[in-house]
Amino acid sequence: MAHFPASNIKRCAVIGGGIIGVAVAREMAIKLDAHITVYEKEDRLAAHQTGHNSGVVHAGLYYEPGGLKATLCRRGVELLRDFCATKNLPYEACGKLVIAQTAEESQRLGAIFARATANKVPGVRMLTGEQIAGVEPNAVGLSAVHSPETAIVDYRAITNALADDVRAAGGDIRLGQEVTSIEQRGSGAVVRTKSGADHYDLVVACAGLQSDRLAAATGEGRSPRIVPFFGQYFLLGEEARHKVKGLIYPVPDPKHPFLGVHLTKRIDGEMMLGPNAFISFGRESYSWKHVDVRDVLNFALFPGFWNFARQNIPSAVREFQTVVSRRKFVKEAVRFVPSLEGASVRTGTRGVRAQAMNSDGSLVDDFVIARRRDIVLVRNAPSPGATSSMAIAEYIVQQALQGH
């Protein structure tokens, strides 16, 4: 892709040191003759969603053909695979099965296959129940969709490699610098932290779990609101790891807003069960011991949350069972791989999902990227956000530079 004629953009800032923020910074460093500064409030990059996710590179099975998610996911896979090859980072196409256990699920699986085909997911195919064992010898089901090129990576390592490119291009990554506001100031915008303020020609905010607060600090509306949901993972004991070769997912149920427990191989060889999804008592709370009163009040006083809760009582019951019972959690996985019955498990990582929610309680599904003159706000970048990160960066830079 050619360089943009953007001689009037000399100083750019990116807020957020997750994979999307650092990918945007790298894209700017490559495409613009400008100085790039990244602000990250933690003392390390990839501290939150990027460093606590499953590590899956999604192939684009589920997304509405032609939508932003589908387009950027497919492009993101290509960019991510090439970047890992260039940087000698691990990238394993271990494959994924989406398995139907009932006739109703088999019907929904047909719709997933149709979307995957429309999205040009490479190698995707429908399997009968008998054919499942050819991919996963210990898995069972009525039918399945097989995506052989769904892959796994280390997103934290990728983020740090992206950051190396930013620094190599002369960019500045400021850790431990929390941005308190962004203000449009004539031409350009001012980024404020507790230690001072700097003026930039273009500012891109990729604040993840804090994206609505940072948007409000620019004068934008608070909707969509971020409501945090935690996802707990368990790790299979070493004696049972070999029973699953790749990724095994359930068929999404439209009655439930979240997917449910699945099996995910990790790039270090561990096998994860999870995640579940339940309301988190803090946007950055990775254990029950950490309760953030401000965050709790933020969703407790939000009408949209209670609308969502009323609409999803059965889902809340389902998810709560896996929160309080490890046995119930494992039982969900045993539906797909019966030989995991009795396998040992230990507690794994916990992540917190930045779930964007409208005031009517509906969840925001697609990526939301808003523009306010010289400020670009990534309001929502759910899964496959990490997969799509380098494509999102391309998209943001192209959109941001229109009018400059």
Tens digits of residue pLDDT in 214-268:
999 998 988 899 999 999 999 999 999 999 999 999 999 988 888 888 999 999 9
Mean pLDDT of 13-30: 97
Q: Is the pLDDT at 328 greater than 90, yes or no?
A: no
Mean pLDDT of 320-344: 90
Q: Are strands 96-100 and 143-147 parallel, antiparallel or unpaired?
A: antiparallel
Q: What is the pLDDT of residue 319?
A: 86
Answer whether 244's CB lies under 8 Å from 264's CB.
no
Q: What is the pLDDT of residue 223?
A: 87
Answer whether 182's CB lies under 8 Å from 217's CB.
yes
Q: Give per-residue pLDDT as tens, 129-181.
A: 999 999 999 999 999 999 999 999 999 999 999 999 999 999 999 999 999 99
Q: Is the pLDDT at 1 greater than 50, yes or no?
A: no
Least confident of 81-85, 231-235, 323-327: 323-327
Q: Is the pLDDT at 56 greater than 80, yes or no?
A: yes
Query: Which distant-in-sequence residues (6+ apart) come within 8 Å of 177 by Cβ?
Result: 39, 40, 41, 193, 195
Mean pLDDT of 113-134: 98
What does each C-alpha distance from 187 to 10, 11, 80, 183, 372 come to in angstroms? 12, 12, 34, 11, 12
H/E element holding 364?
none
Q: Is 147 helix (H, G, I), strand (E, B) or coil?
A: strand
Tabulate helix, strand, coil % of the chain (nearest 5).
35, 25, 40
Mean pLDDT of 187-207: 96
Please give the full DSSP string across 23-52, using - where no structure is assigned.
Answer: HHHHHHHHH-SSEEEEEESSSSSS-STGGG
Residue of 276, 280, 324 lying closest to 305 (CA atoms): 280
Q: What is the pLDDT of residue 403?
A: 56
Task: Report d(CA 362, CA 224) in Å as an integer.
Answer: 10
**Alpha carbon 314 to chain centroid, angstroms:** 25
Can you tell me which residue has the tokens 């989406």? 98
Q: Is the pLDDT at 188 greater than 90, yes or no?
A: yes
Output the pTM of the full model: 0.95
Task: Report d(CA 248, CA 97) in Å as an integer.
Answer: 5
Query: Which distant-in-sequence residues (6+ apart) come within 8 Å of 27 by Cβ?
Result: 390, 393, 394, 396, 397
Q: What is the token pair recorded at 112?
A: 């997933």
Q: Is the pLDDT at 4 greater than 80, yes or no?
A: no
Q: What is the pLDDT of residue 404?
A: 60
Q: Is the pLDDT at 2 greater than 60, yes or no?
A: no
Enter the DSSP assignment of 151: E
Q: Give per-residue pLDDT as tens, 354-369.
A: 999 999 999 998 999 9
Q: What is the pLDDT of residue 326?
A: 86
Q: What is the token pair recorded at 46?
A: 């990839």
Q: What is the pLDDT of residue 9?
A: 85
CA torsion sign, 259 to 53 to 144 to 332? negative
H/E element holding 172?
strand 172-175
> Do you find a cis peptide bond into 275, omega within 30 degrees of 0?
yes
More confident residue, 400 or 178: 178
Task: Report d(CA 203, CA 191) in Å as an integer.
Answer: 8
Q: What is the pLDDT of residue 29?
A: 94
Q: Which domains does the chain have, with CATH numbers?
A: 11-51+156-224+365-401 (3.50.50.60), 93-152+226-357 (3.30.9.10)
Q: Is the pLDDT at 6 greater than 60, yes or no?
A: no
Answer whether 338's CB lies under 8 Å from 331's CB.
no
Q: How confident is the model at residue 378 (pLDDT cuts 50, 70, 90)?
A: very high
Q: Give per-residue pLDDT as tens, 262-294.
A: 999 999 999 999 898 999 999 999 988 899 999
Task: Report d(CA 395, CA 68) in Å as an integer.
Answer: 10
